[in-house]
A and B are shown apart, each in its own frame.
Chain A
Amino acid sequence: MSILKFLGKRLVLSIFVLFGLSLLIFTISRVLPGDPVRMALGPRAPEWAVENMRAQMHLDKPLYAQYYYWLSEALHGDLGQSLFTRRPVVQDIKEFLPATLELALFAGVIMALFGILLGAVAGRYSNTWIDNSVRIFSYVGVVTPSFVFAILFLLLFGYILRWFPTAGRLSPGIVRPPVITGMVTLDSLLTGHFAALGDALWHMVLPAVSLALGGMAQEARITRSTISDNLRKDYIASAKGFGVPEWLVTLKYLLKPSLIPTVSILGLDFASLLGNAFLVELIFNWPGFSRYGINAMLRKDLNAVAAVVMVLGVVFIIVNILVDLIVAWLDPRIRLGAERGK
């Protein structure tokens, strides 16, 4: 019951957050210099063509009226037309978002799995050469932007060693699976296109690892630090004293509570993967949502900009709610605290 109440509260709050976000991005995108319609139609387009397009997009109305139109249409599932792709923004989102979500999910799995693993090993063997190696890796990982890894991997594994493909989601000769979710790996799996599945995974390796390394390094540092702190706590000593097997102490009493800060950060890191993906998508010619969003901003594609920010806002909110739920599951004190507060 308390969890449902918690979820209800968060959802109500989220509506306010999204409303504020929509107001903010709507205003900012419209007060920036430059006429988006003129940009889209070119300098020689006749004024009547520009005016027609402005009228179609309600840009000839006052700002509050524009917001009213945008909001009422958005609530009906219509986010308007993109000035540059010349398609409904909803169609663009359907096409580009799954590509980035797929990439971010793979990067997220790599980030969580290897980050926690490295941190756990380093924490368990703190102040040994293993710990030092993980520390060096973490420092490098945290300070190096994803696009640097992307270029390095592209040149090393694509250009010199030629182990991995370097552009796009599928090789030209591969038959694309029918679109179900828009995620090529999942669609390939669901429809039994295993050649496409293999090829899609192979295409994913370099961009996903490039994207994951920064977060992975951060998770490793946090996990290591919490584990080495908890290792010195009395309850661990007493568990050992009671003769609880070493593996059980490590997995149940040491790792589980140590993951709470990691999971909290993991949520934020995952959400920020969507934003960080831009340069990685550019380098690997990945037709994703982040690249679409940045291009929309550079071209002042008003409807696309608003839609991208709103979708990212929704993803952030969902991820943060999920993180709170996982943390509550990991830490009984939070659950109990919530129940006491009923």
Chain B
Amino acid sequence: MKRSLLILAAGLVLLAGLSLVGWSDGGGVLRVTFAWPTYIDPAVGSDFSSSSSFVNLYDTLVYPDTKGDPLPHVATAWEASADGLTWTFHLRNDVKFHDGTPLTAADVKFSMDRLITIGEGYAFLFIGRVASTEAVDQYTVRFHLSKPFGPFLSTLYRLYILNKKLVEANIKKPGPYGDMGDYGKAYLVDHDAGSGPYMVKEFRVEEELVMVKNPNYWLPIDPNAPENVRFIGTTEPATIRTMMSRRELEISDQWQPQEALKALDGINGVDIAAFSPGTEFYLMINTRKPPTDDIHFRRAMAWATDYQTVVQHIFPGAIQARGPVPQNVPGADPNLFQYHRDLDKAREELAKSKYANELDKYPVEFHWIAEVPDEEKVALSFMANMADIGINVKVVKVPWMSVVDEMAKEETSPNIVSVFDSSHYPEAGSLLESRYHSSSAATWEQNEWLLDKKLDAMIEDAITTIDRTERFAKYVQIQQYIMDLCPTIFLFEQVEKHAYQAAYVDWPVAQGEINPVMGYNMAARFIKVYPDKRQKLLGG
């Protein structure tokens, strides 16, 4: 018996030794946790983790600066025709894909055609707008639009350029796209076809995306930028905390609860980077269902809402929203009217409502998303606020899929749904269109059912205006118009919080250099990792 125990102990010691070999990996590595799925095919993904992977694996014609304005990238210069229907881009001639193939106009055309044909991911930004793409010569590409589209340059942050030759060589036939078979979709599940600063080394679905630095990248990369980048598919707080404390994780995902962030902040060398990602939390009010179809009733609710309790205690660090567009999104109106809790004004508005004398007959149904537990606190706080002016709120917890189903029809949409939403490209026009244009009614992005033709025309006019100054002035008018209708309670702008290893990682976001385009803050070439400092922390 004793002998067996000794053998067992020896085995365990041996295994421990072997495992320590594995733990020693970490020099020049950037590990970030994400909520899976992560797609690396630019014609498929459009969520946070996929967008973060695209930024590292692919190049775009233009690159956003911290204000969301376009900088030359693969395109050195561009011009738009006077009618805004033709956009011509002149490309660099020294950009090469990971396999050494030169990047040309034909690749840009292929990428746009593929994206539009597949129709997934960020294709919605171009479908119905880009009529055709033309490779004028090897290094000139031209987009023909079906109607003018002012923010076109901003949408090009989402046109990731694929290696045409490589994708075509890996097409599977037959497939759903006719002659193009599967358009390389199966291949691009776990391979990249990009020219970006990082290349896929390994992709294990639902587990991990491992990328290595592209040694032949056409732009200089800081030598302290990580050699390896690993996107790890977990958001489990206990796991994150353990990995952070063991310096096996450099940046956490943004889904950690407040308590977990507090614990992470307490780890030596770990700080919390907080920034506004341009996401807003809306209480979307159904403007066609009693009693919220009455504008005075809606205004009464807006005056009675206690915004400060929400931003101070329920989502600490968040800031009260100012209208439909988060303030860091270009085109947001910084002077827009903002409601605050004022019960006298709330009662005054309520008295003007046609439901003032029969409030007990018209309870307000508030649906919150079951998958986001903190939303319940907002719902209960709102219920208490409304009770102060005699409005009866019925709080209902609903799974996300059911909410999406409910919002698909006017008659099943509840009085209020609480939803987070953000712009699809860094301009106010994106949110104004996706939240309030009639085309978005029946989707989860609009419970308001405004169906306001005047507003539709204003939005269409703004986004087809090519001149940026003029377009932004129109955005301001639209925001004021929406504010007057009071179709939504603009509760707060979300603050995205990530724990990161401040002792050995320089992350521009933490220094206030925040890119307003989703995913671009995870561009690893701008993040510096110092393995020697990490080693010191580990006591080595």
Could you say which residues of chain A place their CB within 8 Å of the CB of B23? 165, 171, 173
Min Cβ gap A269→B in Å is 24
Q: Is the CB of A202 within 8 A of B185?
A: no
* Residues of chain B at the chain A interface (Cβ within 8 Å): 14-19, 21-26, 29, 36-37, 39, 41, 44, 46, 118-121, 123-124, 127-128, 176, 185-186, 189, 204-208, 230, 232-234, 236, 238-239, 241-243, 245-246, 248, 399-402, 404-405, 424, 434, 443-445
Q: Is A142's CB within 8 Å of the partner chain B?
A: no
Q: Is the CB of A202 within 8 A of B236?
A: no
Count: A-B pairs, CB below 8 Å: 151
Q: Is A42's CB within 8 Å of the partner chain B?
A: yes
Cβ-closest chain A residue relative to B44? A86
A174 is contacted by which of B21, B44, B120 (Cβ under 8 Å)? B21
Could you say which residues of chain A place their CB within 8 Å of the CB of B242? 154-155, 158-159, 166-167
Cβ-closest chain B residue relative to A86? B189
Q: Is the CB of B239 within 8 A of A284?
A: yes
Q: Is the CB of A195 within 8 A of B119?
A: no
Cβ-closest chain A residue relative to B230? A172
Q: Is the CB of B443 within 8 A of A195?
A: no
Q: Is the CB of A34 within 8 A of B402?
A: yes
Could you say which residues of chain B place their CB within 8 Å of the CB of A198? 14-15, 17-19
Most buried by B among A48, A171, A285, A291: A285
Could you say which residues of chain A place their CB within 8 Å of the CB of B238? 151, 154-155, 283
Q: Is the CB of A49 within 8 A of B405?
A: no
Q: Is the CB of B18 within 8 A of A45?
A: no
Could you say which residues of chain A place their CB within 8 Å of the CB of B399? 33
Q: Given A86-B185, A167-B234, check contact A45 B120 (CB 8 Å).
A: yes
* Residues of chain A at the chain B interface (Cβ within 8 Å): 32-35, 38-39, 41-46, 48-49, 52, 56, 84-87, 92, 95-96, 151, 154-155, 158-159, 162-168, 170-174, 195, 198-199, 201-203, 282-285, 287, 291-292, 295, 300
CA distance A86 to B36 in the complex (A): 13
CA distance A167 to B239 in the complex (A): 7
Q: Given A49-B123, A283-B238, check contact A174 B232 (CB 8 Å).
A: no
CA distance A32 to B506 in the complex (A): 46
Cβ-closest chain B residue relative to A152? B238
A202 is contacted by which of B15, B24, B230 (Cβ under 8 Å)? B15
* A42-B46, A43-B443, A201-B15 known, 15 other contacts, Cβ within 8 Å: A33-B402, A34-B402, A41-B120, A45-B120, A46-B119, A46-B128, A52-B119, A151-B238, A166-B246, A167-B248, A168-B208, A170-B22, A174-B22, A283-B239, A285-B207
CA distance A300 to B245 in the complex (A): 35
Q: Given A49-B120, A173-B24, A201-B15, check contact A166 B243 (CB 8 Å).
A: yes
Q: Is the CB of A285 within 8 A of B233?
A: yes
> Which 6 interchain pairs have the tightest Cβ spacing?
A171-B22, A34-B401, A49-B119, A198-B18, A44-B124, A173-B25
Of the A-B pairs whose beta carbons lie under 8 Å apart in the complex, a sample of 11, sorted by A's number, is: A42-B120, A164-B19, A166-B248, A167-B232, A167-B243, A172-B29, A198-B15, A199-B21, A202-B16, A202-B19, A291-B206
Min Cβ gap B115→A in Å is 11
B239 is contacted by which of A41, A52, A86, A166 (Cβ under 8 Å)? A166
Cβ-closest chain B residue relative to A282? B236
Most buried by B among A43, A170, A201: A43
Q: Is the CB of B119 within 8 A of A38?
A: no
Q: Is the CB of B232 within 8 A of A292?
A: no
Could you say which residues of chain B place their CB within 8 Å of the CB of A165? 19, 22-23
Q: Is the CB of A33 within 8 A of B124?
A: no
Cβ-closest chain A residue relative to B41? A86
CA distance A159 to B248 in the complex (A): 11
Min Cβ gap B230→A in Å is 7
Min Cβ gap A194→B in Å is 8
Min Cβ gap A66→B in Å is 18
Q: Is the CB of B243 within 8 A of A172?
A: no
Min Cβ gap A29→B in Å is 12
Min Cβ gap A120→B in Å is 15
